[in-house]
Amino acid sequence: MPKKAGPFFEKTYEISQHFGGNYARYAQFGLAGHNGIDIATPVETSVLAGVSGVILAIGEDVGGYGKYVRIFDGAQNLLVIHAHLNSIAPLIQVGYKVDKANPVGGTGDTGNSTGLHWHGGFADTDGKGNKVNRENGYDGWRDPEETNFMTLTLFKTAIQGEAPLPSPIDAPPPPKIVPAGVTPPPYQPTHAGQTVSHLGNSFRSDDGRYWIFQGSDAERAKAADATKARELAQAEANAVDAGVYLQKSNLLEPFMDINKNASDYGLADAEAVIIRGPYKATIYSDYRGGGEIIATYNGQGTYVLPPKRVGSVKAEVILPPEPEPLPDIAILPTRTTEGQYVPEKITTPLPKDQRQPGDWSGATGPTHRDIYNLIMGPTAAWTKKKAPTHSDIYNILAP
């Protein structure tokens, strides 16, 4: 079923550029052509969200999109970008949910632009708003006028009712920060599930693309010991003869039933409490934990009861404390001035429009297209939709 987006404007304006084409201008961004649709407008023309979703990002990319707003429509797994804006509406903030009729900003001429216009980009995503099919020649962006992809309504045809104002979604937890001095492995993971120790710290990779810091090796060993101690104590508590017992007149009777639940029977004339295994016993004067607490006993041993009638006993397993939670912090690569990547915590891969010639194309490392273009230079960049193969790269390197 085609996805739906729009309207984006209160009035009708001219489409100044459709999707695709003009390769010479967009090759500098590693694109096969224009990756959206452009609408020519007067300055500060109000732009509507066009979809209902969550604001993923706002910012200003001087060499590319200028001022922009990215919206993720989770109901359709659709990403929309509004670019080259002159201003961004005050209520538009990262993490806010918007209705499709909410204004997001005013049109302008910011970034790499040749005149006043609005640029709209549209892409399929996964469930978290990450673009998919990024090797399609347009970094995952698709033609919104392609009918099997989208039903696009650019301009309003009727007055609509008032839309709810943008508002924050449930506040996400604050971002986790990698502790100072922690250096991840200086290489990309080789496969999902990989775990390594580097400079005394532990890292894993869930998808083979980036590292997840899991704390120091010493912290992990301490946590493992604490977990093992709890498991051992629980096993001792589950042993057949473990539990809380009553002793009277040299007759031993259990306070607990077969499921280790405290019993209220056979408590009269109790002389002592015998605890076997990691248990705590609380002695009450009345039935079912009522009245006063006569005594509390912790751990294995025999305890003589005070000369009071026992009404009931509450038995609890005593386990060692749980281990301290370990960090779980993703560390993605980021661009350096040399055009390479070093592991460093960022929230998303470097956007396509912010890359420089020779930069990697994302968190997964350089693609065949990236390597080919780095060798050949922008004037001889790979232009075919299908990415270059190993043979293509070998042939340009072979003497």
What was the pLDDT predicted at 256? 54
> What is the b/e burial string over 42-57, where b = at least 16 CB atoms within 10 angstroms of the residue's CB?
eeebbbbbbbbbbbbb
Mark whether 129 and 15 lie in a shared domain.
Answer: yes
Q: State the Cα–Cα distance between residues 101 and 103, nearest whole angstrom.
A: 6
Residue 26 within any structural domain of the chain: yes
Residue 152 within any structural domain of the chain: yes
Residue 310 within any structural domain of the chain: yes
Tell me how many helices (H) and strands (E) the chain has: 4, 24
Q: Which of 16, 12, 9 is nearest to 107 (CA)?
A: 9
Q: What is the CATH number of the domain that holds 120?
A: 2.70.70.10
Domain carrying residue 90: 3-168
Mark whether 143 and 257 lie in a shared domain.
Answer: no
DSSP string for residues in 378-396 = GGG---SSSPP-HHHHHHH
The count of residues in the chain is 399
Q: Where are the alpha helices (DSSP H) in 124-216?
A: none
Q: Which of 349, 272, 352 is nearest to 313 (CA)?
A: 272
Domain boundary among 132, 152, 168: 168
**pLDDT tens column, 226-266:** 999 999 999 998 888 888 887 776 666 555 544 455 555 55
What was the pLDDT predicted at 399? 61
What was the pLDDT predicted at 341? 41
What was the pLDDT predicted at 268? 65
Domain boundary among 168, 190, 207: 168
Token pair in block for residue 1: 């079923």
What was the pLDDT predicted at 28? 85
What was the pLDDT predicted at 347? 37
Which parts of the chain have pLDDT scores under 70? Answer: 157-162, 170-175, 249-268, 289, 332-367, 378, 399
Mark whether 59 and 151 lie in a shared domain.
Answer: yes
